[in-house]
Chain A
């Protein structure tokens, strides 16, 4: 009887601690993070000019293509597309790594909030209602 109670206590504490940290240490997450880090320098320039902004679903959006120099305008869509592919895969991978694939959209929203918080002054961020706000 005592042993059963002890086992139940251990089970409870393990389940309670399961919330403490999200698993993010997978090779796929690392690869995506590195890919995004390598691209970030290019994106920074476009964030600063207002050409691109942070959407409320954790993605990047071309806000105003006219703010992209003509010579680079063709490349901006593939750059943003590549970034969004990485972001989508990142949110999906984190959800899967934690055995909750259904968490993907909540993770995306969580990231959206943190991206917005870390956005630099002058960057454009989409608010909860979809309006663009300059930080």
Chain B
């Protein structure tokens, strides 16, 4: 009886392992991509906020 339970439990755990590992975590990947892209695209922080108001020739 114990052997059956141990075998059954291991088979279930193994199946879960395989199931989870072949599933591409799309939501987690999007979250990770967003974090990285936001950092790449962020403007330089040395620009003072007032520059947005005063007319400058500089493009953002």
The residues of A with any CB-CB pair to B shorter than 8 Å are: 1, 4-5, 8, 11-12, 15-16, 18-22, 24, 29, 33, 36-37, 40-41, 45, 48, 90, 94, 100, 103, 106-107, 110-111, 113-115, 118
CB atoms of B33 and A18 under 8 A apart: no
Which A residues are in CB contact (< 8 Å) with B28?
Answer: 19-22
Of all chain A residues, the one with the shortest Cβ separation from B59 is A45
A94 → chain B, closest Cβ, in Å?
Answer: 7
Which B residues are in CB contact (< 8 Å) with A45?
Answer: 59
Partner of A113, one of B2, B30, B42: B30
Partner of B32, one of A15, A21, A100, A113: A21
* Residue among A1, A21, A90, A103 having the largest count of chain B Cβ atoms under 10 Å: A21
User: Chain A: interface secondary structure?
Assistant: helix
Complex CA gap A41/B43 in Å reads: 8
CB atoms of A37 and B42 under 8 A apart: yes
- How many B residues, CB 8 Å from partner? 31
Which A residues are in CB contact (< 8 Å) with B38?
Answer: 118
Which A residues are in CB contact (< 8 Å) with B26?
Answer: 106, 110
Complex CA gap A15/B19 in Å reads: 10
Of all chain A residues, the one with the shortest Cβ separation from B23 is A19
Complex CA gap A44/B5 in Å reads: 61
Complex CA gap A29/B36 in Å reads: 9
Complex CA gap A64/B4 in Å reads: 67
Which B residues are in CB contact (< 8 Å) with A15?
Answer: 16-17, 20
Complex CA gap A12/B28 in Å reads: 19
